[in-house]
Amino acid sequence: MHITSSEISDDVPELFRAAMRRLAASVSIVVARGDSGPVGMAATSITSLTMDPPALLVCVNRATALHALLVPGAPLSVNLLSSHQHEVSAAFGGGLPWQERFGVGSWQPGANGLPLLAEAQAHLGCAIDVMLAYGTHSIVIARVLDVTVSEDVAPLIYQDGSYL
């Protein structure tokens, strides 16, 4: 059964937004390769998908600069932010133009040619396997090829417009 927008009551979108603001989520920086260098954005819609093969889901708005770079086979870097990396999250969350974002934080070259954020909780080097369009976003399924993990477990958590 397919539900159309006309079948959803008018108050559902605003109530849905209010409900999702109550959902706390860790913040990551997702990076892809652009023609003139890396492009990245802050994301909270990331989750593990499978262990066999290791894969994750990333949801990306099709209006972002990053989205145009996401095609099957392309490399992708996911940096799980640590609790002290508010400034990085703010810059990549739209606080700076995409061309200036890598000026915030300490970045180093990764195995897949994309930058990795120093002091992040973990880095995942991926290759995009599948892209599925849904509404305003695409669901990206990325195969995890390389992982580094820090000793500390202290995620940057975002909820209701602020960091916890």
**Tokens encoding 103:** 């000026």
Element (H, E) at 18: helix 12-21
- Whether 9 maps to a domain, the answer reads no
Centroid of chain to Cα 18: 21
- Whether 88 maps to a domain, the answer reads yes
CA angle 139, 38, 111 (to 5 degrees): 85
Environment class of residue 86 by beta-carbon count within 10 Å: exposed (0-12), middle (13-18) or buried (19+)? Answer: middle
- Whether 103 maps to a domain, the answer reads yes
- Whether 120 maps to a domain, the answer reads yes
| Number of domains within the chain | 1
Task: With H, G, I as helix, E, B as strand and everything else as coil, classify residue 111.
Answer: coil
Strand partners, 160: none
pLDDT digits (tens, 9 = 90+) for 113-129: 999 999 999 999 999 99
At residue 91, φ and ψ (nearest 5 deg) are -65, -45
Q: Which is nearest to 31 in space by CA: 97, 146, 113, 137?
A: 113
- Whether 117 maps to a domain, the answer reads yes
- Whether 112 maps to a domain, the answer reads yes
Element (H, E) at 29: strand 28-34
Confidence of residue 99 (pLDDT cuts 50, 70, 90): confident
pLDDT digits (tens, 9 = 90+) for 34-66: 998 999 999 999 999 999 999 999 999 999 999
**Whole domain around residue 80: which residue ranges?**
25-163
- Whether 2 maps to a domain, the answer reads no
Residues with Cβ within 8 Å of residue 140, at least 6 apart in sequence? 57, 58, 59, 60, 70, 76, 128, 130, 131
pLDDT digits (tens, 9 = 90+) for 80-93: 999 999 999 999 99
Give the pLDDT mean for 21-25.
Answer: 94
- Whether 118 maps to a domain, the answer reads yes
Cβ atoms within 10 Å, residue 26: 17
CATH number of the domain where residue 53 is located: 2.30.110.10
Q: What is the pLDDT of residue 6?
A: 67
Q: What is the pLDDT of residue 149?
A: 96
